[in-house]
Structures are given as C-alpha cells and as structure tokens.
C-alpha cells in the first residue's frame, strides 16, 4: 500500500465542514481550478481508458473485533446507477464511506477510474456525496448554497453563476436562486443538495439514503427524478438504501448486502426474479418459502424453494392444473385489502402458509374481504418455483452500517 497522499491543507471553512463528517456535497479538490497539478501520467492513461468507475479489491473494515465489511470485491461501471441495498448494519454505508474517503479500509484497495485512492483524502477524490441530512446553510440563499463549493475552489464569479444556473435547471429549480432553505419544501431542499453536488461535475456521485426523510409520495416522485437526472448528466451514481423499492426502481444494477458481505449482485430483475439465497428472497420483496416435507409433498422434491406472491393465482378447489404447473390446496385465513391489490394469506393443507397478491382489476374491497375462509387451490407455473440456497436465512448480528 503506497504512502499517504499529501495535498495542500484545505481552507478553515472546509476543515470545519469535514469535522461534521463531510456531510456536505463539496468539491473533492480545493485547489484553484486554474492551477491544478497534472495527475500521474500512468493513472491518467488508465483512467481515460477504463470503463470501471469504482473498483473495490478485497476491501475490509474492522472496528476492533467487529467486522463491518468482510473482504468485498466489486466493480461499478462508468455511467451506471448502482445501488447498495441491505438492512441496518449490513455494511453498505461503511462501504460507501470508504469510497468517499471518510473511512480507511483495514485492508484492500479503493480504485476510482483506474487511480488507487485508498489513502487519498476525501477532498482529493473526484467524487461528491449527498446525505439524508441536506446540511444547507440556513443563512445563505439557494444560489449561494449551490455555488459554495465553487467559491471554495476560487472558480471565477461569472463561471460560477453560469454553473449554478445550469445545476438548478437540471433539478428543476430555475428561479429559486434567491430563496432561503427555510422557504423550500423537503423535496426542494433535497434537490438543492443534489444541485450542490452536481455543480462540481464529479465523475462519481455517492448518495447515502438521501430520500429517507421524505414522505412516501414525495419519495416516489424523487426516485423518478433522480434516475432522470442521472441519465441526463451521465455520471456514475452509487446509491445506498434499505428500501428495496428504491433500489428496484432506479438501479441499473444493485448489490444486496448482509453481515458485511455482498450476497447477490445483478440487475433488479435478476435479483428479484432469481434470488440467490433465502435472505435475498425475503429481503428483496415478499417471498413464499417451501421447505422439507412440505416442499416434497407439493413440489415433489426436497430443498428450499421460493415463489413470489404475484406469481400465484387463486382457483376453486376443482380448478384445472396444467402440465407445466404446480398446485396446492388450502384455505384463505386472512385478507389484507391494499387498494390497487389484495393480499391473501392461505393456510395450506400440507401445513405451510403462502401469501398471494392479486390486482383488484374487477374486485371491490367488499368482495375481497369476503374471501376469508374460502377453500382454494393455489396454482403457479413451475418455472416460478425457484430452488435457493438455504444459508443466510436470518439477518446477522448488526455491525456499524
């Protein structure tokens, strides 16, 4: 591992912000924009040719005897929206902080666009970070908040003004330059924080649960906006969340974390449709599990199988079953009406319990709730009964996130 990088001491104001956990999306290099030193030539050549934005090589983080991140290897592609999804204590935020430079790995390497930055200070990495705490300066206008990082870098005023206007346009806040943060809604403040990160034109943007403080409706709207902005600017977004809907909605690819490890990596469809483990099946959406004798009596072989609730249809006890289908008899024990769809909990005659989700295309709430106690036959395509690894069935002891 190389010697620590020595850079010019940042300004007092920047040191103050770093002491707060670097929770502001500030520039990664505080040198004057007109006098930046040229990077190492070999690093430049590799950075210009690689299509990997972030590479983690055997990255591990320990806090005493506690392993927060256990030897992760990961490549994040240039220009993709990549999510790190997992429960509290799974290691996802610690991993993000090591990419940002706020935490040093116990061992392993962090490489950004071909440049080993393992020991490089946060302000000398070509990344910005957006946190759930927007950390906007209340005494500054929106325009001054967005342009603060550029001012620290001594970007000329005319250029700074143009870039602030451009950043606010990208987040649909044109004309808000003169307002104070207290005059904005939660969603607008989040967009200001995003504009402040984008104005620095980083090659990688790190987002640590930035939508967590928003209400559900606004969160759903911001998911669509974030994805649209990422596609517009074309830079790499790495997004940390415990919300599987956020990860499935926005990601090109995602990594599922558990107990400091990546337990599955793939596209949203791959992870949801073909979970690798029992943990993934249960964490990334609702999952029905059939195991042991129940699996053998219904599916015809032993093992652990998962079936997503929306893949199952309810039929009458005498409903016909196709050659490519599996069926199980049972009784509806509970009904949960959810508006667009209804969740039916079915106790199987074989002894297990399955959840079935059906859209309310032509069903009223009264009709749905009246199904409780009805004898049914559950039917699903065999292609949807997936054999999965039985390990990692529980969320392990929590470690720092």
Overall number of domains in the chain: 2
Q: Is residue 156 part of a domain?
A: yes
Neighbours of 248 (CB within 10 A): 19
Q: Is residue 337 part of a domain?
A: yes
At 20 the pLDDT is 36
At 212 the pLDDT is 84
Q: Is residue 37 part of a domain?
A: yes
At 391 the pLDDT is 56
- Shared domain for 290 and 250, answered yes or no, is no
Q: Which residue has the tokens 């558990």?
A: 258
Listed residues 273, 300, 326: the one ending a domain: 273
CA-based Rg of the chain, rounded to a whole angstrom?
25
- Mean pLDDT, consecutive 10-residue stretches, the chain (401 aa), reads 42 37 40 34 41 97 96 97 97 97 97 96 92 87 94 92 93 93 90 91 94 85 91 95 95 98 98 95 93 94 94 96 96 96 97 95 91 97 91 42 44
- Shared domain for 215 and 293, answered yes or no, is no
Distant-in-sequence, close-in-space partners of 375: CB < 8 Å, separation ≥ 6? 317, 329, 330, 331
At 38 the pLDDT is 34
CA distance 245 to 242: 9
Q: 283-315: b or e for each residue (b if 16 or more CB lie within 10 Å)?
A: bbbebbbbbeebbeebbeeeebbbbbbbbbebe
Q: Is residue 393 part of a domain?
A: no
- Shared domain for 315 and 346, answered yes or no, is yes
**E strand segments, 78-157:** 81-85, 107-112, 115-116, 127-131
CA distance 106 to 94: 12
- Shared domain for 195 and 318, answered yes or no, is no
Q: Is residue 394 part of a domain?
A: no
CATH number of 67's domain: 3.40.50.300
CA distance 116 to 119: 8
- The answer to whether 279 touches 394, Cβ cutoff 8 Å, is yes
| Residue range of the domain that includes 108 | 12-273
CA distance 324 to 302: 19
Q: Burial, 364: exposed, middle or buried (Cβ in 10 Å; 0-12, 13-18, 19+)?
A: exposed
Q: Which residues are registered as beta bridge partners of 305?
A: 290, 387
Q: Burial, 75: exposed, middle or buried (Cβ in 10 Å; 0-12, 13-18, 19+)?
A: middle
Q: 49-72: b or e for each residue (b if 16 or more CB lie within 10 Å)?
A: ebebbbbbbebbbeeeeebbbbbb
CA distance 8 to 121: 11
At 5 the pLDDT is 42
Taking only the tens place, the pLDDT of each residue in 301-310 is 999 999 999 9
At 26 the pLDDT is 43
How many Cα atoms occupy the beta-carbon half-sphere of 10 within 13 Å? 21
């Amino acid at each position: 591992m190389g010697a620590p990088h020595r850079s010019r001491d940042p300004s007092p104001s920047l040191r103050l912000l770093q002491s707060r956990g670097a929770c502001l999306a500030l520039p990664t290099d505080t040198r004057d924009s007109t006098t930046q030193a040229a990077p190492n030539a070999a690093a430049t050549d590799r950075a210009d040719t690689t299509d990997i934005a972030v590479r983690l090589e055997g990255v591990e983080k320990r806090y005493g005897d506690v392993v927060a991140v256990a030897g992760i290897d990961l490549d994040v592609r240039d220009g993709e929206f990549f999510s790190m999804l997992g429960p509290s204590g799974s290691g996802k935020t610690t991993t993000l902080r090591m990419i940002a430079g706020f935490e040093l790995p116990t061992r392993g390497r962090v490489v950004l666009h071909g440049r080993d930055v393992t020991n490089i200070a946060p302000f000398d990495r070509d990344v910005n970070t957006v946190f759930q705490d927007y950390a906007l300066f209340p005494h500054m206008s929106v325009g001054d908040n967005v342009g603060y990082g550029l001012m620290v870098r001594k970007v000329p005023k005319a250029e700074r003004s143009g870039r602030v206007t451009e950043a606010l346009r990208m987040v649909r806040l044109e004309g808000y330059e003169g307002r104070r943060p207290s005059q904005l809604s939660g969603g607008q403040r989040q967009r200001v924080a995003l504009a402040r990160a984008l104005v620095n034109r980083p090659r990688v943007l790190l987002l640590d649960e930035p939508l967590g403080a928003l209400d559900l409706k606004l969160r759903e709207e911001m998911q669509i906006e974030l994805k649209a902005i990422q596609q517009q600017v074309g830079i790499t977004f790495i997004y940390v969340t415990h919300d599987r809907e956020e990860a499935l909605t926005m990601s090109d690819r995602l990594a599922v974390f558990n107990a400091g490890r990546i337990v599955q990596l793939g596209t949203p469809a791959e992870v949801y449709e073909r979970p690798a483990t029992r943990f993934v099946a249960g964490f990334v959406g609702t999952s029905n599990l059939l195991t042991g004798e129940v699996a053998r009596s219904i599916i015809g072989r032993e093992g652990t199988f998962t079936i997503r609730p929306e893949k199952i249809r309810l039929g009458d006890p005498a409903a016909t079953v196709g050659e490519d289908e599996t069926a199980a008899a049972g009784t509806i024990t509970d009904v949960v009406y959810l508006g667009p769809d209804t969740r039916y909990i079915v106790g199987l005659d074989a002894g297990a319990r399955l959840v079935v989700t059906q859209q309310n295309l032509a069903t009223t709430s009264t009709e749905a709730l009246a199904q409780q106690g009805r004898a049914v036959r559950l039917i699903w395509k065999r292609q949807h009964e997936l054999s999965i690894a039985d390990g990692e069935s529980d969320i392990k002891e929590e470690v720092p996130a």
